């Protein structure tokens, strides 16, 4: 009887399993497990008319077992990606720290507005009111502050832009602890 079931159903059951697992080797392993269970439990099938639904139920259970037993796998590509993200995050923290230090070293009229505009969520209109400046005057001050900051950055840091994001190579004597 098992040979007849194998002959009649193994292809369609394998196709069914493949649609759920999408790993050919794993699908074949699951199919083998299904037929082992069929062999052990064939005596419990009361109605031969329900054979097809019974086989598919065993398949569904075997697929569920497969996913339950499977440990989360981290591929080398995913691991490299996570390492790259961590390195990029560390690099961003370094750049952030460096920028804050260099901004603080600017003349006070530039450093205050740059720190407020670049490192907080305060709108420029609110900053203009806070510093008693017109909006165009505030924007001009921010622009000049950025120009001064750019000069300082070019003097002390070399930036490399990679797929993971910017990477700074700062000289230790520039004051930004890079």
Question: Are 24 and 52 in the same domain?
Answer: yes
The reported pLDDT for the residue numbered 169 is 61
Contact 122, 116 (CB under 8 A): yes
End-to-end CA distance of the chain: 75
| CATH number for position 115 | 1.10.10.10
Instruction: Identify the domain boundary among 69, 94, 127.
Output: 69
Q: Please state the domain count of the chain.
A: 2
The reported pLDDT for the residue numbered 58 is 93
> Where does residue 4 rank: exposed (0-12), middle (13-18), buried (19+ CB within 10 A)?
exposed
Question: Are 43 and 120 in the same domain?
Answer: no
Q: Count CB atoms within 10 A of the CB of residue 97.
A: 15
The reported pLDDT for the residue numbered 135 is 94
CB half-sphere exposure, 2, CA atoms < 13 A: 11
Find the domain containing 39 and state its range: 2-69
d(C-alpha 64, C-alpha 71), whole Å: 13
**Residue pLDDT tens, the chain, 178 long:** 778 888 888 898 998 898 888 889 999 999 999 999 999 998 888 888 888 889 999 999 999 988 888 766 555 566 566 666 666 666 667 777 777 788 888 998 898 888 888 877 788 999 999 999 999 999 999 999 999 988 887 777 766 666 655 555 665 555 555 4
List C-alpha distances in Å: 37 to 4, 16, 31, 111, 130. 15, 17, 10, 73, 75
The reported pLDDT for the residue numbered 77 is 60
Contact 124, 174 (CB under 8 A): no
d(C-alpha 73, C-alpha 57), whole Å: 27
Instruction: Identify the domain boundary among 20, 52, 69.
Output: 69
């Amino acid at each position: 009887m098992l040979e007849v079931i194998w002959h009649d159903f193994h292809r369609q059951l394998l196709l069914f399993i493949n649609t759920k697992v999408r790993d050919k080797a794993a699908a074949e392993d699951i199919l083998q497990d299904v037929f082992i269970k069929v062999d052990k439990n064939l005596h419990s099938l009361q109605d031969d008319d329900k054979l097809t639904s019974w086989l598919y139920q065993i398949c569904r259970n075997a697929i569920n077992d497969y996913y339950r037993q499977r440990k989360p796998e981290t591929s080398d590509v995913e691991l490299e990606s996570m390492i790259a993200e961590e390195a990029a995050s560390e690099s961003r923290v370094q750049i952030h720290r460096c920028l804050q230090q260099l901004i603080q070293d600017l003349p006070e009229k530039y450093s205050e507005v740059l720190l407020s505009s670049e490192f907080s969520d305060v709108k420029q209109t609110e900053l203009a009111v806070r510093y008693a400046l017109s909006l165009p005057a505030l924007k001009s001050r921010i622009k000049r502050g950025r120009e001064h900051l750019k000069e300082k950055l070019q003097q002390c840091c070399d930036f490399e832009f990679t797929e993971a994001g910017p990477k700074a190579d700062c000289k230790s004597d520039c004051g930004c602890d890079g």
